Amino acid sequence: MLFNSYEFLFGYLPIVFVLFFVIAKNNHSQAAGFLGLASLIFYAWFSVQSLPLLIGSIIVNYQLGLKISQSQKKQFLILGLIFNLTVLSFFKYANFFIENTNFFIQLSGGQKISPLDIALPIGISFFTFTQIAFLVDSYQGKVKEKNFTHYLLFVTYFPHLIAGPVLHHAQMMPQFARKETYQLNYQSIALGVTIFTIGLAKKILIANPIGEYADTFFNAITTNSSPSFANSWLGTLAYTFQIYFDFSGYTDMAIGLSLLFGISLPINFNAPYKATNIIEFWRRWHISLSTFLRDYLYIPLGGNQKGNVRRYINLLSTMVLGGLWHGASWTFILWGTAHGLLLSINHLWTDTGLGRYFNNKWMKPFFWASTFIIICLTWVLFRIEQIDQALPIYRGLFGLNGFENVKLDWAFATLKPSTLYNLLLVSFLIIWLGKPNHELKESLIKLDEKTRQIPVKVKYYLSTLILFAIMMYCINRVGSYNPFLYLQF
């Protein structure tokens, strides 16, 4: 039940919305419990066989959270970390370990180990990291949660459950403690519909069609391929924009949906492709994950407090594990390693005093273009399925396979060459000229200085209704190609 499906938009969402506020009129606690139950139903729609794992994980972490809050004993925190990481490792990395073990067994002529017949539970990385953060925050005395219903809602809250953002207890649950949350707020609803519709447009009008060509290109690459310079850049740019508009579109929809219930989720993207260096990129891209990696991995490793060499080692270790978090593959490890090295080089550059040029108005276009190209090059490692696919693509990107005219093997008849070029142009314009949604949100809810009320921005909301109607028409025409990329993580 994807956010952009008719079942969700005209079935699940309106039913949950109406019942939540009807129940809230009489009992706020029951309304919160209902929303938690509805979120479990939402998850079960995707993967009912994984529902027991999710519920079991919630029960164990809730009990450990109580123990930690009551005693502040470190052994309960360690036990919680072991439990969560063991569950995550088993489902996400067991077969990866077996596959690599079999490689060495094959060299020695031994008997291979059969892979395990297990499926990756959807959203396991997100709900595991969310609960790890809760246990650590509980140990540090930042949060306490004695109410199981509230904890269930915190973990399962359906707008963020499947693909984030990664939430902290202190970011969300105090909002459910406010009585205003359980009252209809028409400004919040209008704002939520606006942001949701923007995310829906990103997904349907850009990410889906441009993703068709990205898949066409990458799926056709083999070790014997020789993609031209133009083809390589078209395919790489297509994926660069697909992953941004797909994931940021999902996040926008999650933020918009949450506002319908009067809850504000943290922003997850802040115009990342406008970054002028890699450090800035990671402050703008997947903010909830990069913040988690910083607070719960990089800083505990020592951060930048033990000298530059140790800082670079910590950066590299953090990003390698961040890459591995995305999936059990050497391609993700290489992607994380690349960004760890780039961050280290970036910090080294800054330490020499040259970082001041990043914001120089004359040098800024050069640093922006350089950063964007480097990000595109690293996305190749993120997208390929086998390491040996990288070399043919990089040869093409650097012109080593030739500069002949573009010859595209269009697997999808609905996507014409002119459509791809227009989509790439529109993507550039939106990324460069568009306003991040948190800035749009601030402008929409800014108080009128005279009345001290939030004015109704008629032009925005009218545009939203028109755009939403267009999206409803387009949903029926997207065909079978409709992936949400981050659902696999």
The pLDDT of residue 333 is: 96
Q: How much is the pLDDT for 243?
A: 95
Calpha distance 207→202 (Å, rounded): 6
State the average pLDDT over residues 323-331: 92
Extract the tokens encoding 482: 């409709």
* Residue 480: predicted pLDDT: 66
Return the sign of the alpha-carbon dihedral for residues 271, 272, 274, 280.
Answer: positive
Question: Domain check: are 66 and 99 in the same one?
Answer: yes
Supply the DSSP string of 83-102, one letter for each residue: HHHHHHHHHHHHHHHHHHHH
286 and 236 co-located in one domain: yes
Distance CA 482, CA 290 (A): 27
Q: Phi first, then psi: give them for residue 98, nearest 5 degrees.
A: -65, -40
Q: Is the pLDDT of residue 194 over 80?
A: yes
pLDDT mean across residues, the chain:
86
- Within a domain: 409: yes
CA distance 308 to 293: 19
CA distance 343 to 319: 9
Q: Which residues are known catalytic residues?
A: 326
Whether 212 and 126 map to the same domain: the answer is: no
Nearest Cα to 159, choosing from 333, 12, 55?
A: 12
Write down which residue in 161, 180, 199 finishes a domain. Answer: 180
Reading the block at residue 25, the tokens are: 């009129």
Q: Would the pLDDT of 411 be above 50?
A: no
Q: pLDDT tier at 57 (50, 70, 90 boundaries)?
A: very high
Q: Which amino acid is at 67?
A: K
Do 328 and 316 touch, CB atoms closer than 8 A? Answer: no
* Candidate from 46-60, 247-261, 431-445 with smallest mean pLDDT: 431-445
The domain tally of the chain equals 2
Residue 448: the pLDDT is 44
Q: What is the pTM of this model?
A: 0.90
Do both 83 and 200 map to the same domain?
A: no
The answer on pLDDT for 242 being more than 80 is: yes
Report the pLDDT value the prediction gives residue 478, as an integer from 0 to 100.
58
Q: Are 214 and 354 within one domain? A: yes
Q: At residue 278, does pLDDT exceed 60?
A: yes
* Confidence band of 451 (pLDDT split at 50, 70, 90): very low
| Residue 322 included in any domain | yes
Q: Which of 149, 119, 172, 190 is nearest to 27 (CA)?
A: 149
pLDDT at 397 over 80: yes
Q: Give the pLDDT confidence score for residue 412 in this predicted structure.
A: 40
Helices H, strands E: what count in the chain? 21, 0
89 and 119: one domain? Answer: yes
In the listed set 157, 180, 203, which residue is the last one of a domain according to the structure? Answer: 180
Q: Report yes or no on 469 lying in a domain.
A: yes
Examine the domain organization and report whether 12 and 65 are in the same domain: yes
pLDDT at position 446: 55
Give the pLDDT confidence score for residue 415 in this predicted structure: 62
Of 292, 294, 270, 296, residue with least CA distance to 281: 270
Give the pLDDT score at 316: 95
pLDDT level of residue 329 (50, 70, 90 thresholds): very high
Structure tokens at 138: 């509980």
Give yes or no: residues 359 and 248 share one domain: yes
Q: Is the pLDDT of residue 410 over 50?
A: no
Q: Give the burial class of 343: count Cβ atoms within 10 A of its Cβ; 0-12 exposed, 13-18 middle, 19 or more buried.
A: buried
pLDDT digits (tens, 9 = 90+) for 129-177: 999 999 999 999 888 888 999 999 999 999 998 877 888 888 888 888 8
**Pairwise pLDDT comparison (304 vs 477), residue with the higher score:** 304
138, 158, 180 - which closes a domain: 180
Which has more confidence, 108 or 184?
184
The residue-averaged pLDDT of 372-382 equals 97
For residues 257 and 22, give the distance between their C-alpha atoms in angstroms, rounded to a whole number: 18
Residue 153 shares a structural domain with residue 232: no
Whether residue 211 is predicted with pLDDT greater than 50 in this model: the reply is yes
464 domain-assigned: yes
How far apart are the C-alpha atoms of 242 and 250, rounded to whole Å?
12
Domain limits for position 432: 187-488
Could you give the C-alpha distances from 309 to 144, 314, 416, in angstroms and in order? 37, 9, 50
User: Which residue has 């400004």 as its token pair?
Assistant: 187
230 falls within a domain? yes
Kindly report, residue by residue over 296-317, the tens digit of the pLDDT: 999 998 888 888 889 999 999 9
Can you tell me whether residue 132 is helix, strand or coil?
helix
Question: Is residue 85 domain-shared with residue 146, that is, in the same domain?
Answer: yes
pLDDT at position 442 over 90: no
Residues 193 and 157 in one domain: no
Residues in the chain: 489
Spatial distance between the Cα atoms of 472 and 233, rounded to a whole number of angstroms: 32
111 shares its domain with 252: no
What's the one-letter identity of residue 190? A
Q: What is the pLDDT of residues 81-133, one digit of tens each?
A: 999 999 999 999 999 999 998 888 887 777 888 888 888 898 899 999 999 99
- Would 1 be classed as within a structural domain? no
Tens-digit pLDDT profile for residues 340-376: 999 999 998 888 877 676 677 788 889 999 999 999 9
Is pLDDT of 80 > 90? yes
